[in-house]
Chains A and B, each alone.
Chain A
Amino acid sequence: MTVTVRNLSATISEVIEELALVVVEEPETRPEFSPDTVAWIEVTGSITGQIIVRCRRELGILLASNLLGIDPEDAQAQEKASDAIGEMLNVICGNLITNFFGAEKTFNVSIPRVADIESAPENNTNWAMQETFFFLFDSHPIEFVLNVSPALSAQCSRKECHGR
């Protein structure tokens, strides 16, 4: 499968729309926003990589309320906002792996971590490829950073990657 920004976006749209009934759009320009939440997840196996997302907590409230079919003002939606962001990242990561690399390869995926924006994930790896993407989830901006190890990046160009 050829992995491009276009089908990265397609996978994310498909997963988020199905998971939380949220419409995903690609903004034409980088959205101006001040994220207050960061979440990250790591992948090891045939490749090593990391996905980091930055967004505002309001997006987590929206995800939690849609997942649970409750009002965003509901205390449960507020309480589960961070957890919903972590689970969204977990589901996106799992589906990206399967879509890009198929079912033949086995990967280990870390538990997603969610924190205040000041708590950046440790970054001791010299990632060979780093790409940043922005999306709008029901008009809420979200930033995705994809960090990939040399093993995978050798198969990838900046905007196109041939998943195995």
Chain B
Amino acid sequence: MATNILIVDDSATIRAMVKKSLELTLVDIGRIHEAGDGIAALALLADHKVDLVLADINMPRLDGVQLVTTMKRDPALANVPIIIISTEGSKERLNILRERGVVGFLHKPFRPEQLKELISKIVELPNDSHSEEPVSYDF
């Protein structure tokens, strides 16, 4: 089944770059949605079925940590896997994200192959793997 993906980053260049990188993955990509911040992401998630969220941390209005927190509190969104793509290096902040259910982290700058590898691992997981213990790859 095709995977619908939401890319959340305030940089239109990074969104376009991630979108291009997704084309290199072997994953069957369905629709790719884009949002410039957490507020726009939540609005989009309310209206569209999304199977995977790729989000930055440092964004205006609602940042990546707040987006993750809000999604995990919403039963309709709590099981949607989230990968963070960011320059963040703080162990404390990464631990917070891991505790809140983020399944992967990709550090900027990244190569398309790294994104491909990470996404391939996550979308191959059975759906019920996302509901209990979060699975970490690049933390």
Chain A residues engaging chain B, CB cutoff 8 angstroms: 15, 18-20, 63-64, 67-69, 76, 80, 83-84, 86-87, 90-91, 93-95, 97-98, 102-107, 109, 111
CB neighbours (8 Å) of A64 from chain B are 13
B87 at the interface (CB under 8 A from A): yes
Which one of B16, B60, B88, B94 lies within 8 Å of A111 (CB-CB)?
B60
**B89–A103 contact, CB under 8 A?**
yes
**B88–A94 contact, CB under 8 A?**
yes
State which residues 1-36 of B face A: CB under 8 Å. 10-14, 16-17, 20
**B90–A87 contact, CB under 8 A?**
no
CA of A67 to CA of B21, assembled, Å: 10
Of chain B, the residue at the smallest CB distance from A108 is B58
B123 at the interface (CB under 8 A from A): no
Chain B residues engaging chain A, CB cutoff 8 angstroms: 10-14, 16-17, 20, 58-60, 86-94, 108-109, 111
| Chain B nearest Cβ from A136, distance in angstroms | 19
**B11–A106 contact, CB under 8 A?**
no
Of chain B, the residue at the smallest CB distance from A92 is B87
Which one of B10, B20, B90, B92 lies within 8 Å of A68 (CB-CB)?
B20
| Chain B nearest Cβ from A46, distance in angstroms | 10
CB neighbours (8 Å) of A105 from chain B are 90
**B109–A80 contact, CB under 8 A?**
no
CB neighbours (8 Å) of B10 from chain A are 111
Task: Supply 9 further A-B pairs (C-beta < 8 A) apart from A80-B13, A90-B87.
Answer: A64-B13, A68-B17, A76-B16, A83-B12, A91-B108, A94-B86, A94-B108, A102-B89, A111-B60
CB neighbours (8 Å) of B59 from chain A are 111
Which one of B13, B16, B20, B91 lies within 8 Å of A103 (CB-CB)?
B91
CB neighbours (8 Å) of A104 from chain B are 90-92
**B16–A80 contact, CB under 8 A?**
yes
**B14–A87 contact, CB under 8 A?**
yes
Known A67-B17, A68-B17, A83-B11; judge A95-B87 contact (CB<8 A): yes
CA of A148 to CA of B16, assembled, Å: 33
| Chain A nearest Cβ from B66, distance in angstroms | 13
Subset of 19 A-B contacts with CB under 8 Å? A64-B13, A67-B16, A68-B13, A68-B16, A68-B17, A83-B12, A91-B109, A94-B86, A94-B89, A95-B87, A95-B89, A97-B89, A98-B90, A103-B89, A103-B94, A106-B92, A109-B58, A109-B87, A111-B60
